[in-house]
A and B are shown apart, each in its own frame.
Chain A
Amino acid sequence: MDLIQQALPEFLVGARNTLIYCVSAFPLALLLGLILALMSSSRIIWLRGPARIFIEIIRSTPFIVQLFILYYAVGAVLLTVKLETLDNAWSAGIAILAINYSAYEAEVFRAGFLSVDRGQTEAALSLGLTSFQNFFRIVLPQAIPLMIPPFVNDFIYMLKDSAIVSVISGTELTAVLNTWVTHHGSNPIPLYTLAIVLYLLLSLPISYVARYFERRLRAAL
C-alpha cells in the first residue's frame, strides 16, 4: 500500500539508527562485562562487593527505569557541571544499553571462566605462568567458544531493548513508528506491520548465526 511506501524511507533510516545504537553499545557492554566479571571473581572484597552489588541492582530494575534515571537525573547532574554535551539521547541510549547489558555479560563471562577446568589453571601456575598469562593464554581462549552463543543471543535482546530508547530519542525505529502513527492515526496497522517486518529482518539472521554457532559448539564438545 502507498502508506507503507511513503513511510518506508524514514523507517529504513530508523532501522539503521537502531543498528547503530546496538553495534556501538554491544562492544562497550562486552568490555565492561569483562571488567565486572574479573572484579566479581576477585579475592579482594573491595572489588568483588561493589561489582556484585552493581550486577544485582542492574538485573533487578527495569531497563526503562534505568534509562530514565540516567537521562533525567544524571543529565540534571551533568548540567550543573557544564557537561551538557553528554546529555543527548544518543549518548544516554548507548550508555544505558552498554551499562545494562554489561551486567548480563559479566554473568556469562563468569560462567565461561568457571566452566574451564581448574586443572588447567593449576597446571599453568605450576609451570610458572603468572596469573595474567594464565588468564589470557589458557582460560580465556578455552572459554570464548562456550560464551559465543549467549553473546549472540544477548545481541538479539539488545536489538529489542533498543526500542525502549525511543522514549527519549527521536531517531530510533520505534520513535519513527510512533510519530507516523500519531500523524496517520486512521490506519495504524500497516505501519506496525512494517516496523515488525523490519525488526524481524534485523533479528532473524542473527538468530540463525546464533544457532549455527550453537550447532558447531555442540558438535565440538
Chain B
Amino acid sequence: MSFVEPSVERRSLRLVKQKTDGQSDTPAWLTILNSLFYVVVLLAVVAFGYYLYTFQRNQGLLTLYLPVLLDGARVTIIVSILSLVLATIFGFIGALGRLARFAPIRWLAMVYVEVVRGTPIFVQLLLWYYGVGYVLSTMGFDPYSAAFQVMTALQSNSLVPDQFNAYFYGIIGLSFNYGAYLTEVFRTGIESVSKGQTEAALSLGLNSRQTMRHIVLPQAFRITIPPFTNYFITLVQDSALLSVLGLIELDHQTFGLALIQTDVGVKMFVFILGALLYLAICYPLSLLARFFESRFARAY
C-alpha cells in the first residue's frame, strides 16, 4: 500500500470500510430461508407440546408413566455415580500399576487394560453377573443376604432392594470396565507432566509423595478432566445395559411400559419420554464436558 498515491489509498480504504461495515456475505434469500427455519422450529415445538397435552388430557399418560420413569432415572443416576467413584479407584490403582517399577505388576496392569478394553462391556457384565456371581453363589456367597444382614444390624433392612445382586455385580462390572479406560487416562495425565518438574521438586527437597501430591497431580488433573467427563457420559449410557441383568432402571422401565402397549401411538410416546429423560441426563453432562474442555484448554 505504500506505493499507492495518497488519494487512491484513501478511496480504496473507504471502499473497503463501506463493504465490511456491518455487512455479512450471506445473500438475502439465504437469510430469509434461515429465519423461516426458526419459525418452523417454533411451530414444531408448539405442536409437540400440544401432542403431549392431548395425551395427558385424553388418557392422563404423563401422570401415569412419568413417575415410574423418573424412578428409573433415579436408579440410573445413583448407579452411574457409584460406578464412577469405584472406576476412579480402579483407574488410579491401574495407573499406578502401569507406572510401577516392578515389571510383573506392569505386565499385570497391561493385561488388565488390554483385555478389558478389547472385549465388549456387555460380555463383561454378563460374565460378572452370570459367571462370577453364579460361581460365588454356588460357593455360598450371596451379596443380597450379606447386605440384608448388615442392614438388619442397622435396623433398616427394607432399604435393600430385591435386585441387590444385579446392583452389586453390575456396579462392579461397570467399574472394572471403566477402570481400564481411566487407567489410560490417568497414566497419560501423569506422564504428560514433564520430568523436569519432578526433578526440580526432588532437588528442592520434597520427597516423592509430596512431589506427587503438590506438583505432579495438579498439573495432571488439567489433562485428565476432559476425557474423564466424556467417559462419565458414556458410563451413564452404558448403565442402560444393566437392565439386561434385571436391574430396574430407566430403560428397563421404558421398555417394560412401552412393549406392553398395543396402541402404536402410545408405544412411541413412552419410548420418546424415556429417550427424553436420557437426553435430560446426558445433554447437560455433555455441555459440562465441553465447558471443562474449553476451560482447561486455556493456559494458566
Contact = CB atoms under 8 A, between A and B. Distances in A.
Given A46-B33, A60-B278, A192-B131, A65 B240 contact: yes
B126 A192 contact: yes
Nearest to A173: B123
B264 A196 contact: no
Interface stretch (A86-94, A109-117, A133-141, A200-208): A200-208
A12 interface: no
A68 B252 CA distance: 11
B278 A61 contact: yes
A168 to B, nearest CB: 12
A97 interface: no
Contacts of B107: none
A59 B241 CA distance: 16
A49 B130 CA distance: 44
A62 B237 contact: yes
Nearest to A65: B251
A44 B267 contact: no
Nearest to A162: B120
B126 A174 contact: yes
A44 B119 CA distance: 42
A196 B119 contact: yes
Nearest to B233: A60
Nearest to A53: B41
A188 B129 CA distance: 11
A20 interface: no
A178 interface: yes
A62 B250 CA distance: 11
Give the size category of A's interface with B. 35 or more
Given A60-B279, A188-B131, A163 B26 contact: no
Q: Which of A46, A80, A163, A199 has the most CB of B within 10 A?
A: A163
B274 interface: yes
A167 B244 contact: yes
A73 B270 CA distance: 10
Given A61-B275, A196-B115, A199-B123, A49 B131 contact: no
Interface in B123-174: 123, 126-127, 130-131, 134-135
Contacts of B114: 200, 204
A217 interface: no
B275 A178 contact: no
B33 A64 contact: no
Interface of A: 43-46, 49, 56-57, 59-65, 68-69, 72-73, 76-77, 80, 156, 159-164, 166-167, 174, 177-178, 181, 185, 188-189, 192, 195-196, 199-200, 203-204, 207
Interface of B: 26, 30, 33-34, 37-38, 41, 114-115, 118-123, 126-127, 130-131, 134-135, 233, 236-241, 243-244, 251, 254-255, 258-259, 264, 267-268, 271, 274-275, 278-279, 282-283, 286
Given A160-B119, A196-B115, 10 more contacts: A44-B34, A57-B275, A60-B279, A65-B240, A72-B255, A72-B258, A73-B258, A76-B264, A163-B121, A192-B127
21 contacts: A44-B30, A49-B37, A56-B283, A57-B279, A61-B237, A61-B282, A62-B239, A63-B237, A72-B258, A72-B259, A72-B267, A156-B118, A160-B122, A177-B123, A185-B134, A188-B130, A189-B135, A195-B123, A200-B115, A200-B119, A203-B118
Q: Which 7 A/B pairs are nearest by Cβ-Cβ distance?
A: A163-B120, A62-B240, A62-B237, A160-B120, A60-B282, A163-B122, A45-B34
